[in-house]
């Protein structure tokens, strides 16, 4: 039997799960590099997903703890869209994906991992990035560490933001 090691997962498996909202905690800590926060806007921020579907999987999150899309302010709504555009532009320039999946999961039954703090997922896609590994081996292959991806992307957001 072949084995594929993913030692970065052990940190998550063994970590104690904090009470409260992970997004609210990370933004309050003011430690952007450790928390993988790429950009802080007026009402929202960009963060790398700690357990990504693909390299460069970003989330755009309003600062305000809110779970209802229809309750966003005009500023929050417009900045979420602006940061989505900025994210796609920056990812295209730096990681050169061939496409994107953009989306939100509103509510637990839709798959929201953080159900009370809405966020937009931006998942870069490349031809052939889906394969048998997640289905048969329950293993996702990422070609680069989160820290390396962060270093590349944070520079792009500093220039464009």
- Do 94 and 153 touch, CB atoms closer than 8 A? yes
Residue 126: φ, ψ to 5°: -130, 150
Q: Which residue is catalytic, options 57, 65, 117, 119?
A: 119
**CA nearest neighbour of 49 among 110, 91, 96, 109:** 91
Tell me whether residue 119 is one of the annotated catalytic residues. Answer: yes
Find tokens 């799960």 and name the residue.
17
**What is d(CA 93, CA 79) in angstroms, rounded to the nearest whole number?**
21
Give exposure, 102-113, as e/b (b: 16+ Cβ within 10 Å).
eeebeeeeeebe
**What is d(CA 58, CA 87) in angstroms, rounded to the nearest whole number?**
8
**What is d(CA 27, CA 38) in angstroms, rounded to the nearest whole number?**
11
* Catalytic site positions: 119
């Amino acid at each position: 039997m072949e084995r594929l090691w993913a030692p970065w997962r052990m940190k998550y498996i063994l970590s104690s799960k904090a009470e409260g909202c992970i997004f609210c905690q990370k933004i309050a800590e003011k430690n952007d590099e450790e928390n993988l926060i790429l950009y802080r806007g007026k009402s929202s921020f960009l963060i790398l997903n700690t357990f990504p579907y693909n390299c460069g999987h970003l989330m755009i999150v309003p600062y305000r703890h809110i779970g209802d899309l229809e309750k966003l302010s005009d500023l929050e709504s417009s900045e979420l869209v602006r940061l989505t555009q900025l994210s796609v532009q920056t990812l295209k320039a730096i990681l050169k994906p061939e496409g994107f999946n953009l989306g939100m999961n509103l509510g637990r039954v839709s798959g929201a991992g953080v159900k009370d703090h809405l966020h937009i997922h931006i998942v870069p896609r490349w031809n052939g990035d889906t394969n048998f590994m997640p289905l048969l081996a329950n293993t996702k292959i990422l070609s680069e560490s989160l820290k390396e991806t962060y270093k590349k992307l944070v520079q792009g957001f500093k220039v464009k933001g």
